[in-house]
Amino acid sequence: MADKILLGSGAIYFDFGLATESLVGSTQGEGKFNRKVKYHDIERNGALGKEKGMSIKESVEITMSFGALNLIETNMTKFFAGLESKVVDTYTEITATEDLVLSDYIDNVAFVGTDKAGKEIIIMIENATGLGDLEMKFKDKEEIVADVELTATFDPLTPNCEPWKIKYLN
């Protein structure tokens, strides 16, 4: 039974399993997957409390977050939506765009780790975009770490299919 315990160390990838797969790079602190569901409870006269079968899923928010150390220009535009990079003279500049565009969405972001027995586990969010705040703290004798929060977004062609999955190697 102890072999089924999931371990917290692993790696985070953009576009895991696709031709464009890339490693996010070094991270610091804890990573986190969060599925937050809001239900609407239908209240019925005479009921003393919540009743079985009387809750309706109202909304779902799925996020993956981590502390990023590799703040290279290609990562920055994936970590935070609405940014673009361009070469200006001898620098690559990161600036804000007016609106989100389709290239602000990543097909998937995956945490790939193992259980205690060494079997692979993949926690993946789909159609991810960086809707979190761009904040970097500068502290003497410490690395700059950006807190990244990527949000899974629903595909309009399959609006009732939640954009996440957890895969256990058989």
What confidence tens digit (pLDDT) does each residue in 95-154 have? 999 999 999 999 999 999 998 888 899 999 999 999 999 988 888 998 999 999 999 999
- For a pLDDT cut of 70, what percent of the chain falls above it? 99
Q: How many CB atoms lie within 10 A of CB 91?
A: 9
- Stretch 54-78: mean pLDDT, rounded? 93
The first and second tokens of residue 148, run together, are 């990244």
pTM, two decimals, is 0.89
User: Whole-angstrom distance between the N-terminal and C-terminal Cα of the chain?
Assistant: 15
Closest CA to 11 of 27, 32, 33: 27
What ranges do the domains of the chain cover?
2-168
Per the structure block, which two tokens stand in for 113?
């780790």
| 165 close to 124: Cβ distance less than 8 angstroms | yes
19 forms beta bridges with none
Alpha carbon distance 106, 128 (integer Å): 5
- Relative to beta strand 22-23, strand 6-14 is antiparallel
